[in-house]
């Protein structure tokens, strides 16, 4: 029976119907154009936009799938971490739907769903080592099973994706910045000495990218010609306002930044594989997992250890409802669900594993 997935953790309103790991229909309303005016997400605007669009989006989704509410078997909703106002819109909609129909409800850890999304296209062998890289999080997990994840490394300050977004903002590239950094980097040889590999001269599995953000800002301050005079609207606008030589230099600088991030993540992930040698595969997920250089580095690392790299296609790397629906399908099949006391968990707090009923495999 199909599961409805709801994703409203930040600035994307996502709904999807998933059955046996297959996406029957999916709808996504992006707020990128709205927040690009401010160079980042404005939480109050994000929650209002979720509230405005979620009901008509649900109607369109059912029409796309050729289903009615009665055909659904449960509702899975992202409960955190994320923006509190945004999460509450999705959870409120999910609870209302379950109250009206009697459907089962399950809350999903947004971060774990990113990692499980890789299993939709290429099967994860358990146990696995997972690297989640996004705008708000950089985490390493020992993934024991689809419902048991141990956090073994985390960012102490800024996430890797935040470094990319900040670099784009400094250069007046459009929001969200990570994809533009990646696009402008392609085809350019990086300077491996231009930026440091932050917080690697230690023996732990944690990350810190605040220093890398500072280093990038200092470099652009010395090379102000790399900064566009005003915020670019899109890739065409970037190209129109960058002379060829400046575009080449900016491409090299951004490629060097991508290399610094990719190699930093690779150093820590290799250290984790040394520590947890029973991992049967390496999972890479999150919005930054779409970065070309990072995928290449992680593929090389996995190959050097005789492991498969399991990474979702770019469309499943960014925030989406299909991953929420798939995770929910796994939980509900195991008898794990929530009642109407389900609460939202903002960024910075641990998402509890407080399911009702069922057995959680170790």
Question: Is 133 annotated for ligand binding?
Answer: yes
What are the φ/ψ torsions at residue 192 (nearest 5 degrees)? -65, -15
Question: Is 319 annotated for ligand binding?
Answer: yes
Question: Is 132 annotated for ligand binding?
Answer: yes
Question: Is 136 annotated for ligand binding?
Answer: yes
* CA 253/CA 264 separation, integer angstroms: 17
Question: Is 137 annotated for ligand binding?
Answer: no
Cis peptide upstream of residue 176 (ω within 30 degrees of 0) = yes
* CA 131/CA 283 separation, integer angstroms: 6
Question: Is 23 annotated for ligand binding?
Answer: no
Question: Is 114 annotated for ligand binding?
Answer: yes
On whether the CB atoms of residues 284 and 309 are closer than 8 A, the answer is: yes
Q: How far is CA 181 from the centre of its chain?
A: 16
Question: Is 182 annotated for ligand binding?
Answer: yes
* CA 39/CA 23 separation, integer angstroms: 32
CA angle, 44 then 46 then 51, to 5°: 100
Question: Is 325 annotated for ligand binding?
Answer: no
DSSP 257-295: HHHHHHHHHHHHHHHHHHH-TT--EEEEESGGGG-HHHH
Question: Is 110 annotated for ligand binding?
Answer: yes
Sign of dihedral through CA atoms 296, 302, 308, 312? Answer: negative
Residues annotated in the binding site for Fe cation, as ranges? 110, 114, 319
**Binding-site annotation, residues for substrate:** 132-136, 165, 178, 182, 291
Residue stretches of the annotated binding site: 110, 114, 132-136, 165, 178, 182, 291, 319
């Amino acid at each position: 029976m199909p599961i409805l997935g709801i994703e409203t953790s930040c600035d994307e309103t996502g709904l999807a119907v998933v059955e046996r790991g297959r996406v029957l229909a999916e709808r996504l309303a992006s707020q990128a154009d709205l927040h690009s005016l401010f160079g980042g997400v404005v939480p109050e605007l994000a929650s209002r936009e979720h509230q405005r669009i979620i009901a008509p989006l649900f109607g369109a989704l059912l029409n796309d799938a050729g289903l009615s509410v009665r055909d659904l078997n449960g509702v899975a909703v992202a409960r955190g971490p994320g923006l509190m106002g945004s999460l509450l819109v999705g959870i409120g909609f999910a609870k209302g739907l379950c109250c009206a129909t009697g459907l089962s409800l399950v809350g999903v850890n947004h971060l774990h769903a990113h990692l499980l999304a890789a299993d939709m296209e290429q099967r994860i062998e358990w146990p696995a080592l997972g690297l989640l890289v996004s705008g708000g999080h950089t985490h390493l997990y020992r993934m024991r099973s689809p419902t048991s994840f141990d956090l073994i490394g985390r960012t102490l300050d800024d996430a890797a994706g935040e470094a990319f977004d900040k670099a784009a903002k400094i250069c007046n590239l459009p929001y969200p910045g990570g994809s533009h950094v990646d696009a402008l980097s392609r085809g350019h040889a990086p300077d491996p000495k231009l930026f440091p590999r932050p917080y690697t001269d230690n023996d732990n599995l944690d990350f810190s990218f605040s220093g890398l953000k500072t280093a990038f800002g200092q470099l652009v301050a010395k090379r102000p010609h790399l900064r566009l005079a005003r915020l670019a609207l899109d890739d065409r606008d970037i190209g129109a306002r960058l002379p060829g030589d400046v575009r080449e230099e900016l491409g090299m600088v951004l490629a060097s930044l991508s290399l610094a991030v990719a190699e930093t993540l690779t150093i820590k992930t290799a250290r984790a594989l040394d520590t947890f040698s029973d991992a049967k595969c390496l999972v890479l997920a999150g919005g930054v997992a779409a970065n070309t250089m990072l995928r290449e580095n992680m593929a090389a690392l996995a190959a050097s250890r005789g492991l498969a790299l399991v990474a979702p296609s770019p469309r499943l790397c960014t925030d989406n409802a299909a991953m929420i629906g798939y995770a929910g399908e796994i939980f509900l099949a195991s008898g794990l669900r929530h009642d109407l006391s389900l609460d939202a968990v903002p960024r910075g707090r641990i998402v509890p594993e407080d399911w009702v009923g069922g057995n959680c495999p170790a």
